[in-house]
Each structure stands twice: as structure tokens, then as C-alpha cells.
Amino acid sequence: MNRSMISIVDDDPSTREGITDLVRSMGYNAQAFERAEDFLKSAQLDRIDCLITDLRMPGMSGLELYDQLRKSGVSIPTIVITAFPRDADRLRAERSGIHCYLAKPCDEQHLLKCIRAAIDDDGRKA
């Protein structure tokens, strides 16, 4: 069984719970957060193997969260999901090093493929 730790940050309860359930059903450990700021307070940032975050949330966005992690020297392979896909956001995500940028509702198999690629990739390089 895969024991990698996946963190999910999404302000929408149904999306957050759905992704958390999917991740756990695939044998991963999962922890969920409603806000980016709550995730940043986690004492286990160095144990996270993959981050799945919503793009648009109250407070800090998913891209801002990723940028904040990188600025603080924490490199976590990250997947961004959004209900409002835009080419400008996708381009920014790709340029900053985001592993996958997915539109909601995202296909479960595509999301799992992104998770596996993020974990298998040496994404911890700053």
C-alpha cells in the first residue's frame, strides 16, 4: 500500500471531501484543509508528497500558496484545480512549475495520473 501523504486545499466542502476520499481509496494518506493559510500552519509540511489545491479561494489563491511555499524553501509537487479555467492562469501555473492544471470537475483517472506523476517526479528540487 502506498503511504505517500497528499494534502488537499479547497474551500468547497464537497470537492475537498471527494478528492480526499478518492486519494484515500487509492491507498494514499490524505489531509484536507479549507484554506491555504491553514495548510501553511501545518507542522507536517516537510512530509507532504503532493499538494492538490483549488485556484480560487478566499484569502490566498492556490498559485499564491505555491509561490509562498517556494519562497520559504519548501518544494512540494503541486496540482491546481479550478472551476474557472483561464489560459492566463494555466500559463502562469506552467511557468511556475505546477505539475498539473485541471478544470473542475476533473476526471478521476486524470487526477490520479497527475498525482502519480507528481510523486514519482523529483519535484522537491527548489
Q: Give the domain ranges of the chain.
A: 5-120
Query: Could you tell me the pTM of the whole model?
Result: 0.92
> Secondary structure of the chain: what % helix, strand, coil (to 5)?
45, 20, 40
Read off the DSSP letter of residue 100. E
Q: Render each residue's pLDDT in the chain as its tens digit; 126 residues.
A: 458 999 999 999 999 999 999 999 999 999 999 999 999 999 889 899 999 999 999 999 999 999 999 999 999 999 999 999 999 999 999 999 999 999 998 899 999 999 999 998 744 433
Q: Decide yes or no: CATH 3.40.50.2300 for domain 5-120.
A: yes
